[in-house]
Amino acid sequence: MFFQRIKTPGIAHNAYLLGDKEQAILVDPRRDIEEYLKVARENDLIIKFVLETHRQEDFVIGSKAIAERTDAKIVSLDHHLFGHSDIRLKDGEKLTAGGLVIQALHTPGHTPESTCYALFLKQIPDRAWGVLTGDTLFIGETGRTDLTDPKKTREHAGMLFDAIHAKLLPLGDQTLLWPGHGSGSVCGGNIAERDESTSGLERSCNPVFTKSRAEFMEAKLRERIPRPPYFTLMEKVNLDGGIPVAKRPDAIPLLPAKKFASEIKQGIVLDGRDPEAFAGGHVPGSYGMWLDGMAIFGGWLANQTTPVFLVLDEIKQLETAVLSLARLGVDGIAGVLAGGFDAWRDAGQPIEYSGTIAPRELAAARKDYVVLDVRDDTEFEDEGHIAGARHLYVGYVEDHVGKLKRELSAAPIAVVCSVGHRAGLVASILRRQGYDNVKNLLGGMTAWTKLELETAKGSEHSITTPEIEGKRE
């Protein structure tokens, strides 16, 4: 028996390859499929089935790409949102691969078509070995229930609660849980920072089991997780089984400084260096998008056709940057600055700078600054923030900063997040919109709290997710 979890950094996605007797199943692959094929080859496995737990909102799936390369059959629930699948299982129906028996369990709530797959070993047919839960049940959490219609968040939470209790709980405490995402995913709230669990363990700590149905529904209503704009594209392309990677990293042209300066006029520049380096000097008008941040925030700033130009510390980072963006459907990578920012500087090209500020410095001059906190609602309200800070989530700043125009125009701006990465991105957005006196609080609320500087809690001065996305009911 073979089992391997294959994780995608940045989006905290889990795919699974399970095999027996040379036959394997692959669950929820991303569009860049080479890693899956490599693992299968190295272990003498033939991918027979590609299982989809749901349509996926946070990355482009690779089901069709895998099927084309391996002749595997795409397996799904018999639901219209899986229109591209080859084998459509009814709720409770089973199929086999080697010594594995796979049972489809319809578990709506996160999305209407959400499906879990219980796995049984042929020699132990009456006790589940594990269950592939997709985004229905995470470790320590469940999937968000606001995606298909924010106004039905409560109703969908009730459906999710009922499905988990009716379909997953009866599998038994021994059942291993294999969720589609881990901690850091935008598909759920407070997901635990571990990869291993069982149904029995979750019964003692997961809110879907420790809360009553009514309490669980109210808790989901209060989650208020931001919805990235690229979710809409994911839903569209994944309805057809995803699309293959448009351009391999080695096909991205390296542009010398002069050529780069000319080409970037037709697109946007994402600078993948750390915020301190970006603040010390950068290409004018560029976004301070640290490398790991591209896996999520790249899709907030660029869409499928946006021409994107990259500035990186090292050329070996190009593959990470390109694939991180490709997983969000951002395919228009038009070039990378050859030689990095050093080459730009040495060529005498124009340079912009961003301000930085340390916690004690800001605390001493607090009355002179407008503080903009760009963490999410829960971080701002529950974990504490600088007293008097305005709040707007990083993903919404580009389109909604006008709601704070009067406050932000009154004084120098100090942008705050947990340590400085998201704040650095927002500082670059604000500079692009004409706010010249902007500083990134390096160390963010992590350093501010450790220094025991003044904090507050609550939603005062906050533009929250529901105000932007629409009320939830």
At residue 224, the pLDDT reads 87
Q: In this model, does residue 220 exceed pLDDT 90?
A: yes
DSSP-assigned beta bridge partners for residue 308: 268, 333
Q: What is the pTM of this model?
A: 0.94
CATH number of the 249-346 domain = 3.40.250.10
Taking the C-alpha atoms of residue 108 and residue 157, their distance in angstroms, rounded to an integer, is 9
Comparing 266-270, 395-399, 460-464, 465-469, the range with the smallest average pLDDT is 465-469
By DSSP bridging, strand 413-416 and strand 355-357 are: unpaired
At residue 470, the pLDDT reads 66
Q: In this model, does residue 236 exceed pLDDT 70?
A: yes
pLDDT digits (tens, 9 = 90+) for 378-391: 999 999 999 999 99
Beta strands in 150-253 (DSSP E): 176-179
Fold of 2-238: Metallo-beta-lactamase; Chain A (3.60.15)
What is the distance of C-alpha 109 from the center of its chain?
19
Confidence of residue 7 (pLDDT cuts 50, 70, 90): very high
| Average pLDDT over every residue of 221-243 | 92
pLDDT digits (tens, 9 = 90+) for 86-121: 999 999 999 999 999 999 999 999 999 999 999 999
Q: 368: which 2 tokens?
A: 């002179």
At residue 472, the pLDDT reads 67
Q: Note whether 2-238 and 249-346 share their fold.
A: no
Beta-carbon-side half-sphere exposure of residue 401 (alpha carbons within 13 Å): 21
Percent of the chain with pLDDT over 90: 93
Q: In this model, does residue 306 exceed pLDDT 90?
A: yes
Confidence of residue 280 (pLDDT cuts 50, 70, 90): very high
At residue 459, the pLDDT reads 84
At residue 465, the pLDDT reads 73
Q: What is the 3-state secondary structure (H, E, C) of 442-467?
A: CCHHHHHHHCCCCEECCCCCEECHHH
Homologous superfamily (CATH) of 356-469 is Rhodanese-like domain (3.40.250.10)
Locate the domains of the chain by residue range. Answer: 2-238, 249-346, 356-469
pLDDT digits (tens, 9 = 90+) for 404-460: 999 999 899 999 999 999 999 999 999 999 999 999 999 999 999 999 999 999 888
Q: In this model, does residue 376 exceed pLDDT 80?
A: yes
pLDDT digits (tens, 9 = 90+) for 199-214: 999 999 999 999 999 9
Q: 102: which 2 tokens?
A: 């796979």
Taking the C-alpha atoms of residue 324 and residue 335, their distance in angstroms, rounded to an integer, is 15
| Average pLDDT over every residue of 228-240 | 93
Confidence of residue 462 (pLDDT cuts 50, 70, 90): confident
pLDDT digits (tens, 9 = 90+) for 248-271: 999 999 999 999 999 999 999 999
Q: In this model, does residue 155 exceed pLDDT 70?
A: yes
Q: What are phi and psi of 41, to 5 degrees?
A: -60, -45
Confidence of residue 354 (pLDDT cuts 50, 70, 90): very high
Q: 377: which 2 tokens?
A: 């609602």
Alpha-carbon separation of residue 191 from 61, 118, 125, 138, 188 (angstroms): 22, 21, 31, 6, 7
Mean pLDDT over the full length of the chain: 95
By DSSP bridging, strand 141-142 and strand 462-463 are: unpaired
SS3 call for 87: strand
Q: What's the Rg (C-alpha) of the chain?
A: 23
Q: What is the largest CA-CA distance in the chain?
A: 72
Based on DSSP, count helices (H) and strands (E) in the chain, helices before strands.
19, 26
Beta strands in 227-349 (DSSP E): 254-255, 268-271, 287-288, 308-311, 333-337
Taking a C-beta distance cutoff of 8 angstroms, is the pair 194, 141 a contact?
A: no
Q: In this model, does residue 461 exceed pLDDT 90?
A: no
| Average pLDDT over every residue of 57-61 | 96
Taking the C-alpha atoms of residue 119 and residue 160, their distance in angstroms, rounded to an integer, is 21
Q: 402: which 2 tokens?
A: 């006008």
Apex 303 CA angle, 115 and 349, nearest 5: 145
SS3 call for 5: strand
Q: What's the burial of 204, exposed, middle or buried (CB within 10 Å: 0-12/13-18/19+)?
A: exposed
Percent of the chain with pLDDT over 70: 99
At residue 464, the pLDDT reads 73
Within 8 A by CB and 6+ apart from 187, the residues are 57, 58, 110, 135, 143, 144, 180, 181
| Average pLDDT over every residue of 70-83 | 95
Q: 400: which 2 tokens?
A: 């909604």
| Average pLDDT over every residue of 47-64 | 96
At residue 22, the pLDDT reads 92
DSSP string, 298-332: HHHH--TT--EEEE-S-GGGHHHHHHHHHTTT---
